[in-house]
Structure 1
Amino acid sequence: MTDRLAALAALADAHRLALVDALADGDLAPGELGARTGLGSSLLAHHLRVLEDAGIIVRRRSDADGRRSYLALAWSPLVEAALATQESPRPARVVFTCTANSARSQMAAAMLAAARIVPVASAGTDPAPRIHPLALDELDRRGLAPVALAPADLAEVRQDGDLVVAVCDLAYEDCGGDLHWSVPDPAAEGTTRAFAAAFDALEPRVRRLAATLASST
């Protein structure tokens, strides 16, 4: 009960709700978040501290540039219920990208493709020769199938009109993207637990994206 009261108290502020809404679609560096919301550095730092203390947002170091950090929502039913509905033009296609296109982008693409809202693809900035076996195992365990038989190169897949979602820091800092989800690479640990954790980190983000796409025209 105490944790829920702390979260509700933290959310009962217009500035902090704006920060949460800004992080609903993608993870942002503090400077990016300040520019998005128009909050000065001191006020931003105060509200971020309140949200972090309440367990609503988390901060992690970039896998590409360890000097940089990204802020992300600590997804929970309470946080999801607090988010504002967002509408935007529906893209022609959604492309998920990570470095090797062997795990995170494959899992995210399979999740969104199952919703059957828009065409979905995935690609990598340095594609591996095959999809990671543990990623295939995790998809099978969740009742999903990959949308492609093998990793692909982002330079060959990306088209005008795509919504590109970078699900790793290296791909985002190398090639950019319309959205960025800072999800650790499960292949670095190489365990079933790591791949399950990556899937769980992607799932609420994909669910949010699917809801936004479904309400768009």
Structure 2
Amino acid sequence: MTELERRAAIFAALADQTRLRIVDLLTLGDLSSSEIGTALDLRSNLIAHHLGVLESAQIISRARSEFDRRRSYIGLRPEIFDTLAPPSVAPPRRVLFVCTANSARSQLAETIWRDVSPVDVASAGTRPAATVNPQAIAAAARHGLAIDQSRPPRHIDEVRAEGDLVITVCDDAHEILLTRDDLPRDDLHWSVRDPARAGTPAAFDDAFETLGLRIRALSSRLIAA
């Protein structure tokens, strides 16, 4: 497929209001098909149809949840952003990144956000670890940033405040917040692979790069707003 054919396929697939609404949702975070149906009040057969069209046009990709293997998350393929013009988002009082242990992904996200955005930021976990993962600290250092090692990981209940934009950066935390009535819901979910599972510098660098791309995309939209 040529680049012109690729662009034409994207525009053809997006020539539908429902599919445009789905894409607008996915510009902010990854969602399961059931979450898309709830957000847009669509029946499951319609969701399957529209997601099939978007997938055939290579606009979206699917990733199996690391926590619940029966669930998949749908996300936009990063290369299609050049052809999309999503709406701006009103800046929040603060961004709060959440993962399970608050030891790697949310710590990296907080550090990257602080480097690129004037909007205040914090991080927390649903089951905080005792310390920050040393490999997360090393990954940040390799990219010229520093994680605050003097502050231990914290629980979301200790950190969350009114007006926070809560972004989960792991599937476990997102799905726990979906099902636990005693914890706040997240506003956005980014399905980022857990670098601690592989435990290699490359895995942590990959997580850093993935978070950096997401953060720069979102922060630019907040600044524009």
TM-score by length of 1: 0.88
1:124, distance to aligned residue in structure 2 (A)? 0.8
1:61-109 Cα distance to aligned partner (Å, 9 max, x none): 2222222221111212x32441323232x22111100001111111111
Matched, 1:178 2:187: yes
The residue that corresponds to 1:6 in the other structure is 6
1:129 to 2:124 alignment: no
Provide, for residues 116-160 of structure 1, a one-character-per-residue CA deviation record: whole Å limited to 9, x for no partner.
321111011111122212211221122222256332221111111
Partner of 1:113: 114
Q: 2:59 maps to what in 1?
A: 56
Amino acid in the other structure paired with 2:56: D
* Count of residue pairs brought into register by the alignment: 214
Q: Describe how 1:63-142 pairs up with structure 2 within 5 A.
A: 63-76=66-79, 78-88=80-90, 90-142=91-143
Q: What's the secondary structure of 2:75's corresponding residue? A: strand
Q: Matched residues in 2 for 1:147 and 1:80: separation?
A: 35
Q: CA deviation at 1:115?
A: 2.0
Task: Kindly state the Cα deviation for residue 39 of structure 1 after the two structures are TM-superposed.
Answer: 4.4
Match of 1:195 in 2: 204
Distance in 1, matches of 2:109 and 2:190, equals 11
> For residue 28 of structure 2, what is the aligned residue in structure 1?
25
Q: Secondary structure at the match of 2:31?
A: coil
Q: 1:183 aligns to what SS in structure 2?
A: coil
> How far apart, CA to CA, are the structure 2 residues paired with 1:10 and 1:114?
33
Please identify, of 124-133 and 91-100, the stretch whose mean Cα deviation from structure 2 is larger.
124-133
3-state SS in 2 of match to 1:202: helix
2:154 aligned with 1:152: yes
Report the CA distance shift for 1:115/1:147 in structure 2 as closer, same or farther (over 3 A).
farther
Equivalent residue in structure 2 for 1:41, among 21, 41, 44: 44
Give the whole-Å Cα distance in 2 for the aligned partners of 1:129 and 1:138: 19
2:212 is equivalent to residue 210 of structure 1: no
Change (3 A) 1:136 1:11: farther
What percentage of residue pairs aligned between the two structures are identical? 46
Q: Which of the residues 2, 15, 19 maps onto 1:16?
A: 19
Structure 1 counterpart SS, 2:78: coil
Is the 8 Å Cα contact of residues 56 and 79 (structure 1) preserved in structure 2? no
Q: Which runs of 5 or more residues in structure 1 are unaligned?
A: none
Deviations 1:158-193 (A, max 9, x none): 111111101111111112311111111110111112
Counterpart-to-counterpart distance in 1, 2:111 and 2:22: 29
TM-score (norm 2): 0.85
Contact 1:7–1:56 (Cα < 8 Å) also in 2: no
